[in-house]
Amino acid sequence: MSLAIRKYFKRLTTGLFLLLVFFNVQICRAETIRLISDEETELFLADILRPIYGAIHVPFNRNKVFIVQDNSLNAFVADRNDMFVHTGTLMQADNYNQLEGVLAHEAGHIQGGHILRQKLKMQDMQSVSLASVIAAGVIGAASGRPDVGMAIVLGGQTSALHSIIAYQKQEERSADEAAVSILKKIGKSPEGLRDFMKKIQRQNMLSGIEETPYFRTHPMSAERLGFLNNAAQGNPFVVNQKLQARFEMIKAKLVGFLVEPRRVWQIYPKNDVSRAGRYAHAVVLFRQSEIENALRNINSLIQEEPQNPFFRELKGQIYFESGNAAQAVAEYKIANKILPNAATIQISLAQAMLENSPSPQEVKEIINLLNKALIQNRDSAAWLLLAQAYGMDEDMAYANYASAEFSLRMGELDTAEKQIKAAREALKPQGEMRNGKNTANDVRGMHGARNTAQLKQKLDDLEKRIKQLKKI
């Protein structure tokens, strides 16, 4: 599990996501959702989503797929066709076909342009004040029912609410139909979506959610199940064992990290010696500070599959968080060699190297690693580590620039502006003499003095982004 899941870095948003899902209302800086990053899970989701996006003729970008740390059954799309998948969906799905079904349904929303249409529909409700909408979100969050919260705040405006709900139902029917079409187009069965809907229906019954037509923002589950039952007839799910094995390992890791330890041991008992069982055991033992036993489990997996980079990544994390940075570096380097373009592994390796008293040459290697990671994902927490590395390399212009990029992502816009100013100050001629040469305007590290103009342009661009965000 990557740096991001351990530190739970917050992601800057421009909307209250509870309402963004339901009405896509843009609000000034409000709540954030908790995202996690895990290379193994993200690669698996990419493999599932790539053909689905191909079927709807939308370019796939894995940086627009996000894992939400939330154990409820949910997935949703938002602006820019960003896809959000709850950890609960990943952990509670019985097989990868159920996940395919859920993601195909969400892709159906993208294909249908439903996010944009929801925005337009909301223009009919402009009489509702922004403060009331936020209050509705708070009520919905407390109850777990954002639609109930919205119904309360609208009060007597029942006709407008009926219109919105009817529109949501129409969208969900459309997304179900699109999902079935997409799955058939890529040679997949609609069984998974049907079975996952049954799972949601059971949860609704257990939690006492009343499926009345008025308050449901989705069509009634029985109605949807009837359609999906018909669609699944004659098209059974045929298991791809390799894909299912990957899915089982991802589930085991997520359960190990995110579920209360007592429950982990119930799901994966101590006598479970399967690969998935030992993976979950390694994680939960690590969480319980039983380091030797955790290493024993992960080592048994490495012995069976020495070229699995994620086993090495977990072993590196175990060493790093138990205070052994040198061993962590060794494991992360093996993982990085096996999977050289994995941003989360590069970030973890760089962090471990920073904690291991790096030499000047190693600092330059760290800077290189982090810049490579940022090519893969510009929104990464790598900016914070990069600022530290540039500081160790005595490159204060780039150190302050990287700090400003990180502050922006934390929503600390005023701090980011101060860091931009500090970066500009560091670029001013100092007239120093270093090794007999004047180093005025010298931007050191991997960039070199010739890139001073490039850094100035980066700072200009960053200032523009901050100004745009402050207007929201």
pLDDT category at 87 given cuts 50, 70, 90 is very high
- Whether pLDDT at 373 is above 80: yes
- Among 308, 285, 307, 310, which Cα is nearest to 296's? 285
pLDDT category at 138 given cuts 50, 70, 90 is very low
- Whether pLDDT at 289 is above 90: yes
In this structure, which long-range contacts are made by residues 33-36, counting pairs with CB atoms below 8 Å and at least 24 apart in sequence?
A: 33/68, 33/70, 33/84, 34/8, 34/10, 34/68, 34/69, 34/70, 35/4, 35/9, 35/11, 35/66, 35/67, 35/68, 35/69, 36/1, 36/2, 36/4, 36/5, 36/8, 36/67, 36/68, 36/69, 36/87
Lowest-confidence range among 23-37, 197-211, 331-345, 401-415? 23-37
pLDDT of residue 206: 65
- Whether pLDDT at 26 is above 60: no
166: exposed, middle or buried (C-beta count within 10 Å: 0-12, 13-18, 19+)?
A: exposed
pLDDT of residue 218: 52
Q: Going edge to edge, which strands form the sheet with 35-36?
A: 35-36, 65-68, 83-86, 75-77
Pairwise pLDDT comparison (27 vs 85), residue with the higher score: 85
pLDDT of residue 16: 24
User: What pTM, to 2 d.p., does this model score?
Assistant: 0.79
- Whether pLDDT at 472 is above 90: no
Mean pLDDT of 116-145: 44
pLDDT of residue 311: 98
pLDDT of residue 239: 93
pLDDT category at 247 given cuts 50, 70, 90 is very high
pLDDT of residue 4: 42
- The residues near 59 (Cβ < 8 Å, ≥ 6 apart) are 53
- Whether pLDDT at 144 is above 80: no
Mean pLDDT of the chain: 80
Pairwise pLDDT comparison (123 vs 343), residue with the higher score: 343
- Whether pLDDT at 21 is above 60: no
CA distance 109 to 343: 29
% of the chain residues with pLDDT over 90: 60
Mean pLDDT of 400-424: 95
Q: Find the helix or strand (DSSP H, E) in which 84 lies.
A: strand 83-86
Pairwise pLDDT comparison (361 vs 8), residue with the higher score: 361
CA distance 469 to 225: 43
- Among 331, 361, 364, which Cα is nearest to 349's? 331
Task: Give me the numbers of helices (H) and strands (E) for the chain, helices first please.
Answer: 23, 6
- Among 434, 462, 461, 460, which Cα is nearest to 449's? 434
- Whether pLDDT at 106 is above 80: yes
- Whether pLDDT at 376 is above 70: yes
pLDDT of residue 33: 80
Amino acid 274 reads S
- Whether pLDDT at 207 is above 90: no
- Among 117, 98, 105, which Cα is nearest to 176's? 105
pLDDT category at 211 given cuts 50, 70, 90 is low
pLDDT category at 433 given cuts 50, 70, 90 is very low
